[in-house]
Amino acid sequence: MKGKTSSPNKKPRKGAAAKEDTPLLGSKDLPPLSSQTKTFANVFIAVVGAGVLGLPYAFKRTGWLMSLIMLFSVAALTHYCMMLLVHTRRKLLSLTTSSPINSFGDLGFTVCGTFGRFVVDILIVLSQAGFCVGYLIFIANTLVNLFNSSPSLSSFPSNLFASSLFSAKSLYIWACFPFQLGLNSIASLTHLAPLSIFADVVDLAAMGVVIVEDVFIIIKNRPEVIAFGGFSVFFYGMGVAVYAFEGVGMVLPLESEMKEKDKFGKILAMSMAVISTIYGAFGVLGYFAFGAETKDIITANLGAGLISTLIQIGLCVNLFFTFPVMMHPVYEIVERRFRGGRYCLWLRWVLVFVVSVVALMVPNFADFLSLVGSSTCCALGFVLPALFHLLVFKEEMSWAGWSVDVGIVTLGVVLAVSGTWSALLEIFSVKV
């Protein structure tokens, strides 16, 4: 799922609380050295998430060909920037062995000191919490679609505050709240990791069923589709694409635990190619099946049949149990900064409450994907990797290398600012 990290170069002692860089598919041996197959699986677990369910809607907004170009371009750029982090860490470790660099935050501290770690921490908190807001939106809107006959929640209410408090969507979010308080009270990520792996298995199964359903629908109905949606929706589509591939936090822990580190780049590239192919097929087939009627969550287009209902309930269940896994990096950072790294129950409950309130205020799943992808994922995935690489290698890079890094930083900033503005306009606009 988005933002999960895995596999550092150290494993916590038995009985110790697992941290943000604890492996999901870890090894019992010391040091934990992963095979190429396990590394591929961990990349897949870290990147693939519920955001894929919003891709067909993004394809409708931006056009199927334009979306495919953006999707594969973002995949290639994301892979390149992930490798920039790896090369930067390797360079720093060759210069000093005074402190380990096990995570993105460690790298930020080594390159830019306390300020670097602070920026990385803030962006991780916002992105991980944003993913969880998206999960609650998905769960609530899906359950409303299944069990309520109220008007579509995609329309933005005229009285946002009142409608958020008393809508059917709010009832489902608040029904989840006490159970989330219990799940998020679990201190160890190790106890939550099986739930995360289960979620990815359900995601893959749901994607497979939806793709098969789409193919049969396409055979029967061939709705009109567009190839290019125009420049006005470019930044919106880029935000969704960036969100879909956000997993930069797992790169350094994964590379550090791989047995054959010289092959990490190849395995990472292979993983990104497979994931982008699956994403592309899912987005295209979903849009081709329903055309202009494609909804922000593609499962809502499948009707009220038994299979559709089971898929949607299954996705809600797995996202419900993935919520605490995704919030764990947030707790680790907040508790480290405000409680000296000590477990704090009331602070976790406050954060769950804040995430739930934000989920009440945002009506559309795909629009929120674009917002999170643009506002935080662009900075984490593009701006910081290129900036850190530039700062560490500036004395030995050619003008071409400088140009590439500066270009990526500039692109990331432009995408972040423009995409965030575009997504906010969508969220606060009146849908008709």
**Two tokens at 306?**
């038994």
58 found inside a domain: yes
CATH code of the domain in which 118 resides: 1.20.1740.10
54 found inside a domain: yes
55 found inside a domain: yes
- Is 150 a residue whose pLDDT tops 70? no
Q: What is the pTM of this model?
A: 0.77
| Residue 191 confidence class, pLDDT cut points 50, 70, 90 | low
- Is 29 a residue whose pLDDT tops 60? no
Encode pLDDT of 297-319 as tens digits. Answer: 787 787 767 777 888 887 888 78
pLDDT attached to residue 97: 58
What is the distance between the alpha carbons of residues 6 and 17, in angstroms, rounded to a whole number? 15
Helix axes 365-372, 234-244, angle to 10 degrees: 80
pLDDT attached to residue 84: 93
Encode pLDDT of 222-251 as tens digits. Answer: 888 898 888 878 888 888 888 888 777 778
- Is 48 a residue whose pLDDT tops 50? yes
Of 43-52, 166-175, 286-295, least confident by mean pLDDT is 43-52
417 found inside a domain: yes
Whether the bond into 31 is cis, omega within 30 of 0: yes
The angle formed by the CA atoms of residues 76, 81 and 83, to the nearest 5 degrees, is 100
pLDDT attached to residue 33: 63
Contact between residue 57 and residue 295 where contact means Cβ atoms under 8 Å apart: yes
299 found inside a domain: yes
9 found inside a domain: no
Determine the structural domain holding residue 240 and report its residue range: 36-427
142 found inside a domain: yes
5 found inside a domain: no
**Two tokens at 93?**
């470790």
Give how many domains the chain has, as a whole number: 1
